[in-house]
Chains A and B, each alone.
Chain A
Amino acid sequence: MKILVCISNVPDTTTKITFTDNNTQFNTAGVQFILNPYDEIALSRAVELAEGGKGTVTVINVGEVSTEPTIRKALAVGADEAVRINAKPHDAYFVAYQIAEYAKDKAFDMILTGRESIDYNGAKVAGMIGELLDIPSVSIIKKLDVDGTTATVDREIESGKEVITIPFPFVAGTAEGVAEWKIPNMRGIMSARTKPLTVVEPKEVKTLSEILSFETPAPRGQVKLVPADDAAKLIDLLHNEARVF
């Protein structure tokens, strides 16, 4: 079983988000970058499925050299090898195209992504790769089991789930429930230094979208406190002032 896990390098979840250059650039000064939490779940499941010689796990990132610490972290968690497509990820189509171009002649059985990146929150790379390779894509999945060359997944739907079977090869965007986060051990960290990390130059592709600027949400006004012994007042305010019900 050959598994490809797509990983993105994102600001730590506690990062205060600010912008520079007249609100056109994300300010990375002092920002700690991490492996996107959902991608980490995908990777953890991939490593579990491949354990004991049952398969190999390759991780791929589209990014500049600054993402390599995150790629090494993925190797420490248990991926066998890594690929970095040496480019700034311009838009989701660019990312999906580079990954599809890399994967198309390598016979991966399964391509896993996170449900979405926690920076640009597009939830679109998985579906785009699926379409580019003309194979099924399922997003968002909360459980992933493999039997032979077929996977069974739980797809999240409004107020429930669908249980779906998919033959290899396919793409899936994973969320919590698929696996527990794995914490790399010392051996993993040591071996990550010597595992192969191949750098591939990007293919040319048309740009379809462009971020023009960023905005930060307007701050909320002062909180209106209601005394605990007059809780009914809160319902009155929500009904008559905020008019939410």
Chain B
Amino acid sequence: MSVLIYAENADGKFKKSIFEAVSYAKAIAAQNNTTLVALSIGNVAAAELSALGKYGAEKVLNVSNDKLKSFVNQAYASVIAEAAKKEGSTIVVLSNSFSGKGLAPRIAVKLGAGLSDGAVSLPDAGARFTVKKSVFSGKAFAVVELTSENKVVSLTPNSYKLVETGGNATVEDFTSDLKDSDFKTIIKDIVKATDKVSLPDAELVVSAGRGLKGPENWGMIEELANLLGAATACSKPVSDAGWRPHSEHVGQTGIAISPNLYIAIGISGAIQHLAGVSSSKVIVVINKDPEAPFFKVADYGIVGDAFEVVPKLIEAVKQLKAS
């Protein structure tokens, strides 16, 4: 057997969340006394591919085929499942990215595997393969056992540390037979904000709510985020009102994130909002109302007017960066 990690690239580069998933897959391979094989699909340079070795991949299978240049869910799932079969991989690991969410269930069905989505911890090393995941929108965790012979695990970004093993990976070309029926979807356009830190991957997030009064006041939020290298987020009423794009809406009905730092400015801390952010490692709340429920789940707080506090924070970050 072996463990297979699908290493998704973003414009030819691997993100930190992928190296986390490689480190995680390496630890699973070690638990099972076996090797780690990585699979890359798309155009990735040789040096970047061998970087997967640094985090524990012994071998990298490289699929570069013009038809697979951009993401096609069904076709990618077929290639990954085929690689798993050829390599005798009984455990397949992916990052729980947007693409990973599309792929994992299809791969699991192809392999007759149980799927543990959004894992936040290593499997238990005992006789039973159990993985912890977040459930009830961040309000609890479930310990899930995969009882099938084959297993698929997708890892939540920013929930496993990077572990450099210092190894070198050999890179091999991998070809597979592509079925036309896997190419029914066609990408017409890709719209990306390239100058921004992407929210699901972000380690630091600056978020603001209705307390900011209007879209014209987001300048200071963006300035603070830029200085910190943070992504921006918002509460639901803010995106509903069109003050900010829907892609920034976090919470139960938006996206769930688990950054190292979440700064909530002028957000009351409604239970539906908390559902999406409560697994952040450090939470900072800035709110003029000392009774705002958000303070109950915060690590640090300032009771004060955002319009006075945020400019001071910006000054302090500038000074810190200058020192």
Contacts and interface: CB of A to CB of B under 8 A. Distances in A.
Task: Tell whether A pairs with B.
Answer: yes
Q: Is the interface of B mostly helix, strand, loop or mixed?
A: mixed
A228 B106 contact: no
Nearest to A132: B109
B80 to A, nearest CB: 12
A212 interface: yes
Contacts of B197: 159
B192 interface: yes
Contact of A17 (B136, B188, B194, B247): B136
B285 interface: yes
B271 to A, nearest CB: 5
B103 interface: yes
A228 B305 contact: yes
Interface string A199-230: 00000001111111111110011011111100
Interface string A158-172: 111111111100100
B110 to A, nearest CB: 6
B109 A128 contact: yes
Which one of B181, B186, B261 has the highest number of Cβ atoms from chain A below 10 Å of its Cβ? B186
Q: Is the interface of A mostly helix, strand, loop or mixed?
A: mixed
B99 interface: yes
A209 B73 contact: no
A29 interface: no
B38 interface: no
B29 interface: no
A156 B316 contact: no
Given A159-B196, A220-B297, A231-B312, A131 B109 contact: yes
B140 A215 contact: yes
Contacts of B147: 207-210
B299 A215 contact: no
Nearest to B181: A134
A137 B320 contact: no
A91 interface: yes
Interface residues of A, number: 81
A235 B104 contact: no
Interface stretch (A44-52, A57-65, A66-74, A117-125): A117-125
Contact of A158 (B98, B104, B108, B252): B98
A224 B300 contact: yes
B209 interface: no
B198 A232 contact: no
B164 to A, nearest CB: 20
A118 B63 CA distance: 36
A149 B104 CA distance: 27
B302 A164 contact: no
A140 interface: yes
B275 A228 contact: no
A132 to B, nearest CB: 6
A235 B313 contact: yes
Given A124-B115, A225-B301, A156 B106 contact: no
A140 B96 CA distance: 13
Given A92-B105, A159-B199, A212 B191 contact: no
Contacts of A193: none
6 contacts: A38-B253, A131-B105, A160-B193, A163-B190, A228-B308, A231-B302
Given A164-B185, A223-B301, A232-B313, 16 more contacts: A13-B275, A121-B134, A127-B101, A130-B105, A139-B101, A158-B97, A208-B113, A209-B146, A209-B148, A210-B144, A211-B144, A215-B140, A223-B295, A232-B312, A235-B313, A238-B300
